[in-house]
Amino acid sequence: MSDDGDDYCANDAAGPPPAGGPPYADCVLCQEPTEYPESYKGITLCPRCEWQEAQRTACSG
Ligand SMILES: [Zn+2]
């Protein structure tokens, strides 16, 4: 990942905010580093847990 400042080409609505670089917050589920900045207020999930949560909440029914 390049770290050249303004990178607002977010095409994923569910993606994390631009962290700009470490330190990253830990995943609340597995303590893996996430793509969220440490100052992020809210639940921080690593991509893997985020995907699992998305599967869980995306109840097709
Ligand atoms: Zn995780």
Q: How far is the CA of 14 from the centre of ligand 1 (A)?
A: 16
Ligand 1 centroid to 23 CA: how many Å? 16
Cis peptide before 16 (omega within 30 of 0): no
Ligand 1 centroid vs 41 CA: distance in angstroms? 17
**Does residue 28 belong to any structural domain of this protein?**
yes
How much distance in Å is there from the Cα of 30 to the middle of ligand 1? 4
Structure tokens at 30: 């597995």
> CA 19 → CA 3, 26, 28, distances in Å?
10, 13, 17
Cα of 55 from ligand 1 centre, angstroms: 14
Residues of the domain holding 49: 24-57
4 within domain boundaries = no
Is residue 6, in this structure, part of any structural domain at all? no
Query: Token pair for residue 1?
Result: 């990942």
Q: According to the model, what pLDDT value does residue 13 have? A: 59
In a domain, 13, yes or no: no
**Residue 6 CA to chain centroid, in angstroms?**
18
Tens digit of each residue's pLDDT (9 = 90 or more) over 1-49? 656 666 555 455 567 777 678 899 999 999 999 999 999 999 999 999 9
Quote the CA–CA distance of 51 and 33 in Å, as a whole number: 15
- For the chain, the farthest-separated pair of C-alpha atoms sits apart, in whole angstroms, at 43
